[in-house]
A and B are shown apart, each in its own frame.
Chain A
Amino acid sequence: MNDRPFNRRDWASHPPFIDPAYKSTPLRGQTKPLMPIIPGLSELTGPVYGAEAVGPLDSDLTKNGVKDGEPQGERIIVAGRVLDEDGKPQPNTLLEIWQANAAGRYVHHSDQHDAPLDPNFLGAGRCVADENGFYRFTTIKPGAYPWPNHKNAWRPNHIHFSLFGPAFATRLITQMYFPGDPLLELDPIYKSSPEGARERMVAEFSLDVTQELFALGYRFDIVLRGRQATPMET
């Protein structure tokens, strides 16, 4: 079994804990330096979810919330690969997603945005990447919505992604954005990630993923922490 520890989180890619442009961070981000830790089994292991953990409709958000009809909006396919920094596919990785509906409204009780809920759309899904790291969701393109961060603030269209990877240490929670969205350059959450890195969160339109006469396709590859070159000291 591979027991090499994982590469450090790359702070040239990830946002800082406090970014004043995103106004919820100054009181919620940690402030003291991170404590070094020698990774052990607690860090090199993590929850295991295989294909048996997800239901047959879990990866199709156009079907898993249906009550009495089809959800409204533009059907899309989001597909890609989960890889590590060495380009190695990350098999059997759980991906969980959640998003707003086509009108920019979340099912969440605390979302009070004055846009219609869709009775046939929940906006949550999950799947497990296959043995080569490939995953695929069918969903509805999420709408933009206003938020109270600053005057006339709007979140760009996005889908939230949550992944585990092979261990607790490789956990990643991120957001996928859409190419060409004019709101990206105005969004403090997107821009909290350094320039040169944030672009990796923008999916590519893909004619290969697009399914003829059915739905446009977007390709979104996700890169988790890779493993260090040398084994763990024991």
Chain B
Amino acid sequence: MTLKQTPSQTVGPYFAYGLTPEQYGYDFKDLASGDLSTAASQGQSIRIEGCVYDGEGNKVPDAMIEIWQADGQGRFAHPADGRGSNTDFKGFGRFGTGTDGHNRFIFDTIKPGAIDQQQAPHISVIVTMRGLLTHTFTRIYFSDEGAANETDPVLSSVDEDRRPTLIAQKQGSTYRFDIHMQGENETVFFDV
């Protein structure tokens, strides 16, 4: 290695018109939004929603959540996945917690398929906000994938009492996934 990584800095309080402009009503096109599905997407339509909580249990109103996932067949729209997505599904979403009256992030997407025989269906998550100097990585697993979750190598590597922080709870067609930055229920964040 000849060069050193450029340091991270907080996204700050004013990211919205740059990163999520349409969601917040600014006159600039969104590159990504909370709606990942497309007309050609194949798979089960789901909604994932939740809040980000700080160390005092207060909802964070200026966080931005990004998600990255495989399509309904478990394929990524990226050259490192030789299979590629053939359903026009990009797999990337971004949502700020400042527009919903309840400070939720809301993603309308397709439930990802399993990537391979070992891994349970999951979504990769980046959490960033004012007051967070370096973004954090977590994962969303699904409460109705009990058998697959049991044998997933990443989920299995997490202490059993902390595993629930990674599992979105199904309520109808919506999955609830809250993110706790601190406290007894602090979400598991990965050293990605």
Contact = CB atoms under 8 A, between A and B. Distances in A.
Interface of A: 1-3, 7-10, 13-17, 19, 22, 24-32, 34-49, 53, 55, 64-65, 83-87, 94, 96-98, 100, 106-111, 122-126, 160, 162, 167-169, 171-175, 189-190, 192-194, 197-198, 200-201, 222-226
B4 A10 contact: yes
Given A28-B181, A111-B14, A193 B7 contact: yes
A40 B16 CA distance: 31
Interface of B: 1-19, 21, 24, 26-29, 31-32, 54-56, 60, 62, 66, 68, 70, 76-82, 90-92, 98, 115-116, 119, 122, 124, 126, 128-137, 139, 153-154, 157-158, 181-182, 186-192
Contacts of B124: 42-43, 168
A15 B28 CA distance: 31
Contacts of B66: 171
21 contacts: A1-B79, A13-B5, A14-B134, A28-B54, A29-B181, A30-B136, A30-B182, A31-B55, A36-B190, A38-B154, A42-B70, A46-B78, A48-B77, A86-B2, A100-B14, A108-B13, A110-B13, A122-B26, A160-B9, A172-B5, A173-B128
Nearest to B123: A42
Contacts of B81: 41, 45
B32 A47 contact: yes
Contacts of B134: 9, 14-17
Nearest to B13: A110
A44 B5 CA distance: 18
Contacts of A126: 31
A98 B96 CA distance: 15
B157 A15 contact: no
Given A35-B191, A124-B18, A85 B13 contact: no
Q: In terms of DSSP, what is the predominant structure of the interface of chain A?
A: loop
Given A19-B133, A41-B80, A47-B92, A189 B1 contact: no
Given A43-B192, A96-B31, A174 B181 contact: no
A64 to B, nearest CB: 8
Nearest to A199: B7
Contacts of A3: 80
Given A46-B68, A162-B19, A223-B5, A29 B192 contact: no
A22 B6 contact: no
Nearest to B1: A85
A150 to B, nearest CB: 15
Contacts, number: 254
B97 to A, nearest CB: 12
Counting chain A CB atoms within 10 Å of each CB, the highest count among B9, B56, B157 belongs to B9
Given A124-B26, A172-B5, 11 more contacts: A16-B133, A27-B182, A47-B90, A84-B3, A85-B4, A97-B18, A98-B19, A124-B21, A160-B9, A171-B126, A198-B7
B19 A96 contact: yes
Nearest to B94: A47
Contact of B17 (A14, A39, A124, A174): A124
B6 A224 contact: yes
B184 to A, nearest CB: 11
A127 to B, nearest CB: 12
Counting chain B CB atoms within 10 Å of each CB, the highest count among A34, A42, A49 belongs to A42
Contact of A226 (B1, B68, B78): B1
Nearest to A15: B133
Contacts of A172: 5-6, 8
A109 B153 contact: no
A213 B46 CA distance: 55
B60 A28 contact: yes
A201 B10 CA distance: 13
Contacts of A38: 153-154
